[in-house]
Amino acid sequence: MSLEVSQLCKNYGSQKALDQVSFEAKPGRILGFLGPNGAGKSTTMKIITGYIQSDGGEVRVLGNDALSNSKKVANLIGYLPEKNPLYSDMYVREFLNFAGGLYGLSGNKLKIRLDQMLEKTGLIPEQHKKIGQLSKGYQQRVGLAKALIHDPKVVILDEPTTGLDPNQLVEIRKMIQEVAEEKTLILSTHIMQEVEAICKDVVIINQGKILAADSLENLQSANQQIHLILETEEEMELAWFAHLGEVHFGQKGKKEIRIQISDAVQARKSILKVLQERNLSLVNLSQFKKNLEELFREITK
């Protein structure tokens, strides 16, 4: 396992920001780290990367304890913080050169790595511009190149696509996927479609506690229940459909009933029978499966 986080705790004064947070990240699989605002995502990432200390628990990076081997672990991790801190007066190449130097790279090795990172992040045409002159999307690329300059094994990206236009978003996501092919990558994001598009594993945190940690596939298949929305002209009673599964009224009050079922064909037949017997006029009968967004809202509400 490249990254093991176990039983992390962190308090800010009397507030418990992290409460026994544990999860693992594997190489070659992007782990989506999800949670509502204030859930504890950035705090977890800052502890993993050594920016702040925990009040308890353990972080192991490629088997190294992050607390007792902080220097070694810092070299194994690349981090793009939420508020990407860049020196806007520095030139792109100059800045990345400086960042590489901080990790002990120099001479030809630094030059080769610098060229590789500029190429990988599409920054070659921009390398002689001042960072402050770049668009937000290109500034994020500089942040990504900085996080990767020392060729870390574990990469942590805190909301890297927030505020990007749709074109930049697609390009940065593609870059993230390429990076993840050879690294362990944790991606914090609020965008559920992003998780469904590029993550293999998912951790959901809320109020400092882990609520789910599994592969995206397992989470989705555990929620493969089908939902039917039934709408009629007349008011209905939940009891008429209770034999089919879990039932509750929908947005249109008693004229809309939502039913969670496992056998859609059988359920539709039964519903039509009830409608006929009670002489109800059907307005809509549709079915859907929960996506990650709905699952997230249900878990964290």
Ligand X SMILES: Nc1ncnc2c1ncn2[C@@H]1O[C@H](COP(=O)(O)OP(=O)(O)OP(=O)(O)O)[C@@H](O)[C@H]1O
Interface residue list for ligand X (CB under 6 A): 12, 17, 35, 37-43, 82
Complex with ligand X: residue 82 or 196, whichever CB lies closer:
82
Question: In the bound complex, what is the minimum distance in angstroms from residue 15's beta carbon to ligand X?
Answer: 6
Complex with ligand X: residue 96 or 155, whichever CB lies closer:
155
Complex with ligand X: residue 32 or 100, whichever CB lies closer:
32
Q: Which two tokens stand for residue 202?
A: 């998912």
Q: 291 with 27: CB under 8 angstroms?
A: no
The whole-angstrom distance between residue 56's C-alpha and the CA centroid of its chain comes to 24
Question: In the bound complex, what is the minimum distance in angstroms from residue 155's beta carbon to ligand X?
Answer: 17
Residue 123 φ/ψ, nearest 5 degrees: -105, 5
Question: In the bound complex, what is the minimum distance in angstroms from residue 116's beta carbon to ligand X?
Answer: 31
Complex with ligand X: residue 74 or 204, whichever CB lies closer:
204
> Exposed e or buried b for every residue in 71-94, given b needs 16+ CB within 10 A?
eebbebbbbbbeebebeeebbbbe
Give every CB contact of residue 167 below 8 A, 6+ residues apart in sequence. 137
Question: In the bound complex, what is the minimum distance in angstroms from residue 193's beta carbon to ligand X?
Answer: 17
Complex with ligand X: residue 37 or 281, whichever CB lies closer:
37
The full DSSP string for 228-254 is: EEEEESS---GGGTGGGSEEEEETTEE
Question: In the bound complex, what is the minimum distance in angstroms from residue 184's beta carbon to ligand X?
Answer: 20
